[in-house]
Homo-oligomer: A and B are copies of this chain.
Amino acid sequence: MRILLTNDDGIYAEGLCALYRCLSLDHEVIVVAPEAERSAVGHAITLSVPLRVRMVRRGREFRGYAVNGTPADCVKLAFYELVGPVDMVISGINRGANVGINVLYSGTVSAATEATILGMPALAVSLDAYRQESYCFAAYFVSVLVDQVFHWSLPFPFCLNVNIPHLPPQQIKGIKFTRQGTNRLRERFEKRLDPHGNVYYWQCGEEFMEEDPETDVVALKQGYISITPLHHDLTHSEILTRLESIKISY
């Protein structure tokens, strides 16, 4: 297969490299990724400044296109200019989970969603770790998943959000197909004073309050690999049905 590999941690990130190593054994893998970390950019795209592309080499591992844009920009630019359509787009492996509400903020997931909008099947892959990450098992799991997923006859194109616990493989309890958690995070802003006496705020303190066992948040916490199918239709169909009988006078 011809696979486009991207991420939001930037082209030099270890998670992307680990995935490249594993997938390039059996597939043609082309890398188009942000030149630097672009985490939490959501589905941002770049309209007000032009995009530039550099061919970069990551040690002896691979050559790839580094773009001064967001993950969604990378997928669009790859599709329209640099690479053309591919058999699958894979975004990751992200450093840190992308479950629950964080799915909306995630550049990793938005790259995969963008691929689906453009008609290509896509995986977003994240490892639930921020320190001393080992991507070996996660990369292996993705390579296995890629080989199996086309036999599932999913409606084309599809987008799967895969989150992998950072545990020794034998401690991973299995795989759960999940829903995205929708509860808000327990979060806060830390208010500080700079050396000049001016106030600034750090956004921090994320903690999930999700308890529904069918969600990605809870499955991952329990030690399962979570796989959530995503779409890009934000319509709230239930409310839409209720609205149909309403008249607005103006």
Contacts and interface: CB of A to CB of B under 8 A. Distances in A.
Interface of A: 37, 39-48, 50-53, 72-73, 76-77, 80-81, 101, 103-105, 109-110, 113, 117-119, 140-141, 144-145, 148, 152-155, 158-159, 175, 177-180, 182, 184, 187-189, 191-192, 198-204, 227-240, 242-244, 246, 248-250
Most chain-B Cβ atoms within 10 A of its Cβ — which of A37, A76, A118, A234? A234
Contacts of A175: 248
Contacts of A73: 203
A206 to B, nearest CB: 9
- Interface majority SS on A: helix, strand, loop or mixed? mixed
Given A158-B239, A240-B177, A248-B145, A105 B43 contact: yes
Nearest to A137: B250
Contacts of A230: 234-236
Copies of this protein chain in the complex: 2
Contacts of A141: 250
B233 A182 contact: yes
B235 A42 contact: no
B51 A45 contact: no
B188 A80 contact: yes
Given A76-B203, A77-B201, A140-B250, 6 more contacts: A46-B203, A50-B202, A51-B202, A177-B244, A179-B237, A231-B239
10 contacts: A40-B47, A42-B45, A43-B105, A81-B201, A104-B117, A117-B184, A179-B233, A182-B232, A228-B234, A231-B234
Most chain-B Cβ atoms within 10 A of its Cβ — which of A179, A204, A244? A179
Contacts of A148: 248-249
A44 B46 contact: no
Contact of A231 (B42, B80, B232, B236): B236
A104 B232 contact: yes
Contacts of A238: 155
Contacts of A229: 235-236, 239-240, 243
A41 B39 contact: no
Given A48-B39, A239-B154, A80 B187 contact: yes
Contact of A227 (B152, B198, B234, B243): B243
